[in-house]
């Protein structure tokens, strides 16, 4: 069984600065990092805005992929050409998207940002997160 890992995302209340903390479930259960007491590490002005689950996948550069990451998918098309799509990694109806959508023709994927820090890339990814004209 894979070890569960999480990316805790914190945001400064006035400056909107984003900070990350990566923890395993074992570390959380053993209280090695009291996630509710982030002020001890970053100051009183930071609050948790997200807890992103590790997908058990790595991108083509070996980086761990978490929910909320924005990835660029390279997919094989007919006649040997490739297409590139941007997607936000998320669980949809119990399945990991976008990996389920491209299972047959997915060549590679790489992290290009995350929805917390990259709002412009996030908007682009939202446009690609469409199946048959419907937002998933």
Structure tokens at 26: 């074992």
Digit-coded pLDDT (tens) for 123-133: 655 555 544 33
Q: Give the span between the Cα atoms of 106 and 84, in whole angstroms.
A: 10
Q: What percent of the chain has pLDDT over 70?
A: 68
CB burial of 21-60 (b: ≥16 within 10 Å; e: otherwise) equals bebeeebbeeeebebeebeeeeeeebeeebebbbbeeebe
3-state secondary structure of 127: helix
Mean pLDDT of the chain: 76
Which range, 7-11, 94-98, 106-110, is most confident? 7-11
pLDDT of residue 47: 79
Quickly tell me which residue has 């446009």 as its tokens. Answer: 127
Structure tokens at 46: 């930071």
Q: Give the span between the Cα atoms of 41 and 25, in whole angstroms.
A: 19
């Amino acid at each position: 069984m894979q070890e569960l890992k999480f990316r805790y995302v914190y945001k400064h209340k006035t400056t909107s600065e984003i900070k990350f903390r990566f923890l395993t479930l074992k570390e959380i259960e053993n209280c090695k990092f009291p996630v509710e007491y982030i002020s001890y590490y970053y100051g009183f002005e930071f609050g948790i805005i997200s807890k992103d689950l590790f997908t058990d996948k790595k991108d083509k550069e070996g980086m761990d992929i978490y929910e909320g990451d924005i990835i660029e998918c390279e997919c094989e098309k007919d006649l040997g050409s490739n297409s590139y799509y941007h997607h936000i990694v998320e669980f949809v109806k119990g399945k990991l998207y976008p990996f389920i959508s491209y299972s047959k023709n997915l060549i590679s994927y790489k992290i290009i940002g995350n929805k917390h820090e990259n709002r412009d890339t996030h908007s682009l990814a939202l446009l690609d997160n469409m199946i048959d004209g419907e937002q998933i």
